[in-house]
Each structure stands twice: as structure tokens, then as C-alpha cells.
Amino acid sequence: MKSIGKTIVVFCVLGLLIISINFKYNYIYYGRLGKSMLTQKSNRIYDNAVRECRYVFLDLGSSKGVQVRKLFEPNLYPNASIIPVFDQVFGNISERQKYACAFGFEANPRHMKRLKFIEESYKNKGFQVNFYNLAVSDRDNAIVTIFSETNFNLDWGAGILDKAINNKAKMTMYKVHTVDIVTFIVETINPLKSKAVFMKMDIEGSEYLVLPYMIKNRILCKNIITSAGIEIHEWARKPLNMSLDMSKLKQNLKQQSCVPTSVIPLDDESYNIDVAINPDSSINS
């Protein structure tokens, strides 16, 4: 009997140990350290299943969400330079409203209330829009610091590159999670088998890190990213000791073993505080 009792005790201890280890693992991996990235990642399959994504707009650096609004409601933004690009890549507005899907990434958490309002309003209209509060990077689920203008009305951008940012003492600092943008494209965008994917990149200096990483992993190929509007921030080049510019970027793209993504310099800052008409109003296409 004593032997049986000891055996039961041993099994109980082992069981408690396994439960403890499993709890600790899940806390570290899915809890405090990983919740932001993994929670958002887990929603992708559901989000993508809502409708056919015949066209994809990948908005890297969404800020206040104005570019996504230009995609679905261009009539509100006359003369915005990105709209002819949307027309060329995705076709007419009725086609976009039915079949375009937008995925936006914004590191600055102060913009998320507005972005989630746009997302919800557009989904209620049948548009497929998803915004993620993540910093575009070459790593998944790392924690980085972003610096943002303290005055919200001057908050045209935020950055994670410490050496390239001046007057940090006067800025607001946030800790945010990163997204490995190559993994996101491979796991989330590629399976959609879209006719066209347009990527807008305005990530406040992080392009010097992200673009070489995308080229290395053969992401900037026309069969993956059809075309891209990329802003290369000159102010970050010298502090980061980088030589990449638009000319060198296009040269590097041509050296890939694929037909390269069509890249255009794009810096559409029009309507950067948006228009008075909210996204939950009726559509006037």
C-alpha cells in the first residue's frame, strides 16, 4: 500500500510540474511578452476569410489612415497624387470597394483609436480593412522604442531609429512590438493569390533596415508585390551611415532573380489631417 501511495504522490507531483511548466510557457509566449503580436496575428485567418481579396493595399506606416481612405473614398480627396496610382493598379472605384483588401501597420499607438474607428466603419460598409499597432521590421515580436511629437497636431510621423532622431527629450516615447514584414507577406498576403498587390512604405527611416531584408528574401518581385510607392527619408541616411537611395534601390532590385517590383518615389502628404467627412458617413462615390 505504501508503494502504491508513493506512486500516486509521484504522479501527482509530476502532473503539477507539467501544468506549472505549461502555464509558464504560455505566459511567456502568449502572455505579457507576446500578446500584442500574437493576438493580432491570430486574427489574420478570420479577417482574410471575410471576402475575396482580388487586390491588396499594404500600407506600411498608416499614420492617421488617410491613404486607406483615399483607396476606398477617392472622391473625398481630389488631386491626391496616390489616387491615379490606385486607379492604375486596382482599376475603378467600384471594383476596389468590392474586391480590395487593405492591411495597415502603424507603430504609434496614439493613432490606433482613429484607425480602429476607420476599420470598423469600413467593415460595416463591406470594405475589408485591418490595422495593426506594430512597427514594421525584420523581426517578429521584438520590443522597440518609438519617438513621437508630443503635440498630437504635429505628429506627422514616428520613428524607432534612435540615432537619427533629434530632440528626443521633447518627444513622447512608446514601447511597441515589431512585425516581421516578410513573414507577414509570405503567410498572409501570398495565400490570397491577388491579381495585384500595391505596397506603400513610409516608415520614418526604418526602410534602411527593411528594404534590404525584403530584397534578400525575394519579396520585392512583381509576382509578390506588383508595385510599390516608397519614401526614402534623407534625414536618416547620414546618422545611420547608409548609402541607399532610390537609384541604388532600383539597381538592387534588378539584380534579383525575378522580375522586380515596379517602384515609384511616392510622398503623398496631402490631406494629412484628413477631411471633415467621417468614414462612417454614407458613400458618395
Q: What is the pLDDT of residues 194-214, one digit of tens each?
A: 999 999 999 888 899 899 999
Give every CB contact of residue 60 below 8 A, 6+ residues apart in sequence. 105, 136, 181, 199, 200, 201, 202, 203, 210
Domain boundaries, the chain: 36-265
Predicted TM-score (pTM) of the model is 0.80
Helix/strand/coil for 248: helix
138-147, 214-223, 266-275 — most confident range: 214-223
* The pLDDT of residue 106: 94
List C-alpha distances in Å: 249 to 154, 181, 261, 279. 30, 18, 11, 36
Count the Cβ atoms, other than its own, within 10 Å of residue 205.
23
Amino acid at 179: V
**Angle value at C-alpha 167, between 140 and 62, nearest 5 degrees:** 40
Give every CB contact of residue 124 below 8 A, 6+ residues apart in sequence. 280
Q: Does 62 have pLDDT greater than 90?
A: yes
Helix/strand/coil for 55: strand
* The pLDDT of residue 9: 47
Q: From CA 82, how far away is CA 103, in angstroms rounded? A: 16
pLDDT in tens, 81-94: 999 999 999 999 99
Q: Does 1 have pLDDT greater than 60?
A: no
Helix/strand/coil for 91: coil
In the CATH scheme, what architecture does the domain 36-265 have?
A: 3-Layer(aba) Sandwich (3.40)
Q: From CA 28, how far away is CA 43, in angstroms rounded? A: 20
Reference 115, options 60, 66, 70; nearest CA is 66
155: confidence class by pLDDT, cuts 50, 70, 90: low
The residue written with cell numbers 507577414 in the block is 184
Give every CB contact of residue 188 below 8 A, 6+ residues apart in sequence. 44, 48, 103
Region 171-182: mean pLDDT is 92
